[in-house]
Amino acid sequence: MKGQSRATIFAITAVLFWSTVATAFKISLRHVDHLQLLFYSSVVSTIVLLLILLAQKKTHLFSGYSRNAYFRSAALGFLNPFLYYVILFKAYDILLAQEAQTLNYVWPLALVLLSIPILKQKINTRDIIAVFISFIGALIIGTRGQFISFGNPLGFGLAVGSSLVWALFWIYNMKDKRDVVAKLFLNFLFGSVFAFFAVVIFSSGSDPGISGILAVSYVGAFEMGITFVLWLKALQLAENTAKVGNLIYLSPFISFFLLYFILGETILTTTIIGLALIISGIVIQKYHFRKQNSIS
């Protein structure tokens, strides 16, 4: 099988798993609070990533890391998974899953905006247009088309805020040239420690039961662990990364289907319109970025 075909299979598998996580988040939150969900899923993801490292025979890499490298992992682990998922899971707890998921898709535009002060990158007219289009999409979702009145301002702020945290993590993670799976394992290891203390201090600590454990384990394995590795493998094998990358836009639409049939969520017209505008803005920005790279 050719590299591009294998890449497509890995990518589609990853997209199908990611399409289930909004439903899995909501089911999990019926059994545990958002902090418990973060802790249990982070622990599961840490174990999954460790097993992958053992299978790849890469555990020896840890002995070569400096003290500063471990401090960097702790800082990145605070951003993701800890802070990112604390905010995201709380957004899912108080919003419709379709709204929280779709608003979280603005992170590529947040990446553009944060790159200006952090990476000293310049923003041009096309980038401004892309951000504006996606912002209008987010506004339609947050206000359910009313524009002057937010349905849930806190939920809207949390969902968009999680995108800012993810974009910030992505910027600093790009500067870290260590093995991807190894550094991700350390991020989740430290993130699990932060989540443990958050549960001890702020959570009620109720028993999730068997159903809850199965749900949070699914989140840890397929939102945070295995699926990310599948996606990276797809990008590594791809002869045309754009074709693989564009598959990710199938995820929210498949997710809407699952939310409707499994959770019984009525998919709002404003969510679909908002998602279309958000994706349009991202595509405009990505197209310009690729065009600039091809010229340079």
Query: What's the rounded Cα separation, in Å, for the pair 194 and 190?
Result: 6
What integer pLDDT is reported at residue 270 of this predicted model? Answer: 87
Question: Residue 89: its pLDDT value, please?
Answer: 95
Closest C-alpha among 26, 65, 42 to residue 217: 42
pLDDT of residue 290: 52
Give residue 73's identity as a one-letter amino acid code.
S
pLDDT at 294: 44
How confident is the model at residue 78, as a pLDDT?
Answer: 97
The angle, 0 to 180 degrees and rounded to 10, between the axes of the packed helices 125-143 and 269-295 is 160
> DSSP 3-state assignment of 266?
coil
Residue ranges for the chain with pLDDT beneath 70: 1-3, 147-150, 205, 241-242, 286-296
pLDDT computed for residue 5 by the predictor: 83
At 133 the pLDDT is 84
Position 296 scores a pLDDT of 38
Cis peptide, bond prior to residue 81, ω within 30 of zero: yes
Task: Find, among 150, 37, 168, 169, the residue nearest to 92 by Cα.
Answer: 37
Handedness of CA 33, 262, 222, 48 (dihedral sign): positive
What local confidence, expressed as pLDDT, does residue 150 receive? Answer: 66
At 179, the amino acid letter reads D
Q: Would you state the pLDDT for residue 11?
A: 87
